Structure 1
């Protein structure tokens, strides 16, 4: 009877220990998985921003991070939506909203980051005043970049655009005054860096300028970029209040992040929240 009782107790103790051991193992696995993430960006300045200014902060917080680079503006959002990546950085909020509307996705802009503005470059002239009558100006032919270009030219006093038109969708048809009779050449945004040599002035979106090795500081003038055109860190809407989302915001809002931008991303325009704090 005693032998049976002792054996019974040993079985109970062994089972209890095994249960505790299994519980510890399960918790550890869960924690490791939640700290292993993949972030995405298009190759170029925003991939570099992740590498130099954001991923180091994530790693300090214990994350194991994989960076995935994309070659177009469709894949990063599809990958985020289907869970292949956990966050991305490559687009502004207008593009994100349109993407959600057209594709039925539920992606959320988490925080605005410093962004390379459009630069207006010339290989022939040093100042705006030097631009001659009938100067040939190369501009992007896609609606968003075209509207940005016209807004900037309007801000610089080179043309006037109908004040009643939505500034986000303005086109050359909305130019009401063109005192120097500038000739506008609409081309693919990716070809604008090459157009500098064949134009009197070319408005080059910041990402294409940097990818072509241009220095934003060499531009005749830079776009005064509204926040809706600045790039955002995006996550799935369901993850907006996750620990990862909180950590990403904390990193971007840190002084270390801003110092890295000042040192390694010269010419990038800062969002209002960063300028006004």
Structure 2
């Protein structure tokens, strides 16, 4: 009788241990949490995030938009849960222009460097007086391009430069370079039409340019205004699934993956969002994070 009691007790303890262990695991039939994430560019980063989130039982649907205004209007209208792949400066400008006061930046995301490319020259010092450089006409990208030219000592910008691109904000152009504003994603052969062209990262990839081999100069350290962020609505920023997605996007696994598989210098930026909010102070202020290029 005692043996039966001991056996019954042992089986009960085993069942209890198995039950407790099972409580901490995702059940096979547990329905996944769903998030719709709006993006501007379908980079390898987003594809990996979808896969990593799936492992945490979060189902991500990606929805692509043509520009920041369309992306943020969709977020405000609750068509998507999170907006990604836009820089914090582009996000702020869009929110201001469209009066989207119910949106908030909640996390840093990644950085993809901009570069100056040329088929004619192999060094930036070869640029000469009268050469024409094509710049992206999008105001945010143009501002970013001007900052890069300023850092390369090709031009000087007004001390009051506010990040919004405009050629009249150039205060010095000693090489007497000419600048044309172009739509970098629609012109077929920009490198053949100009002595040099400044291209955002995604555009450079589209033209099969390698930032490591082909760029005359690049952004050498991560600039605060041009770090991509994740944004959501103010009524959604504490949502459990949103916070889980943010954690996944900044995980060591994701950082290591992007570091290993970066196609054109991309890298995850993991800092508190508060560290980006003062980017207005200086458009040449840098994060204490090397680019690795």
Q: CA deviation at 1:165?
A: 2.1
- Structure 2 distance, partners of 1:70, 1:156, is 32
Q: Counterpart of 1:9?
A: none
Correspondence 1:140-155 to 2 at 5 A: 140-155=136-151
What is the TM-score when the length of structure 2 is the normalising length?
Answer: 0.74
SS where residue 78 of structure 1 aligns?
Answer: helix
Q: CA deviation at 1:276?
A: 5.1
Q: CA deviation at 1:60?
A: 1.7
**In the alignment, is residue 245 of structure 1 matched against residue 242 of structure 2?**
yes
- With over 3 angstroms needed to count, the CA separation of the structure-2 counterparts of 1:111 and 1:158, relative to structure 1, is same
Q: CA deviation at 1:167?
A: 4.1
* Structure with max Cα Rg: 1
- Structure 2 distance, partners of 1:174, 1:147, is 10
**In the alignment, is residue 63 of structure 1 matched against residue 61 of structure 2?**
no
Q: Counterpart of 2:232?
A: 235
- With over 3 angstroms needed to count, the CA separation of the structure-2 counterparts of 1:272 and 1:247, relative to structure 1, is closer
Which of 176, 179, 191 lines up with 2:174 in the alignment? 179
**In the alignment, is residue 114 of structure 1 matched against residue 122 of structure 2?**
no
Q: CA deviation at 1:148?
A: 1.3
Q: Deviations over 1:85-133 (max 9, x none)?
A: 2212121122222322333331221212222221100001111111122
**Are 1:192 and 1:203, in contact at CA under 8 Å, matched by a contact in 2?**
no
**In the alignment, is residue 190 of structure 1 matched against residue 185 of structure 2?**
yes
**Are 2:255 and 2:267, in contact at CA under 8 Å, matched by a contact in 1?**
no
Q: Deviations over 1:158-196 (max 9, x none)?
A: 12222x222413532232222221111122232467321
- With over 3 angstroms needed to count, the CA separation of the structure-2 counterparts of 1:156 and 1:126, relative to structure 1, is same
**Are 1:44 and 1:211, in contact at CA under 8 Å, matched by a contact in 2?**
no
Q: CA deviation at 1:220?
A: 1.1
Q: Counterpart of 1:93?
A: 88
- Structure 2 distance, partners of 1:66, 1:82, is 17
- With over 3 angstroms needed to count, the CA separation of the structure-2 counterparts of 1:103 and 1:182, relative to structure 1, is closer
**Are 1:136 and 1:184, in contact at CA under 8 Å, matched by a contact in 2?**
yes
Q: CA deviation at 1:275?
A: 6.2
- Structure 1 distance, partners of 2:244, 2:39, is 18
Q: Deviations over 1:134-163 (max 9, x none)?
A: 21111122322222111111111112222x
Q: CA deviation at 1:200?
A: 1.0
- Structure 2 distance, partners of 1:241, 1:204, is 36
Q: Counterpart of 1:264?
A: 261
**Are 1:151 and 1:167, in contact at CA under 8 Å, matched by a contact in 2?**
no
SS where residue 146 of structure 1 aligns?
Answer: helix
Q: Counterpart of 1:49?
A: 45
Consecutive unaligned residues of structure 2, counting only runs of 5 or more, are 1-26, 272-286
What is the TM-score when the length of structure 1 is the normalising length?
Answer: 0.78
- The farther-off stretch of 186-195 and 218-227 is 186-195
Q: Counterpart of 2:123?
A: 127
- The farther-off stretch of 125-134 and 169-178 is 169-178
- With over 3 angstroms needed to count, the CA separation of the structure-2 counterparts of 1:257 and 1:81, relative to structure 1, is same
The count of residues paired between Structure 1 and Structure 2 equals: 243
Larger relative helix fraction: 1
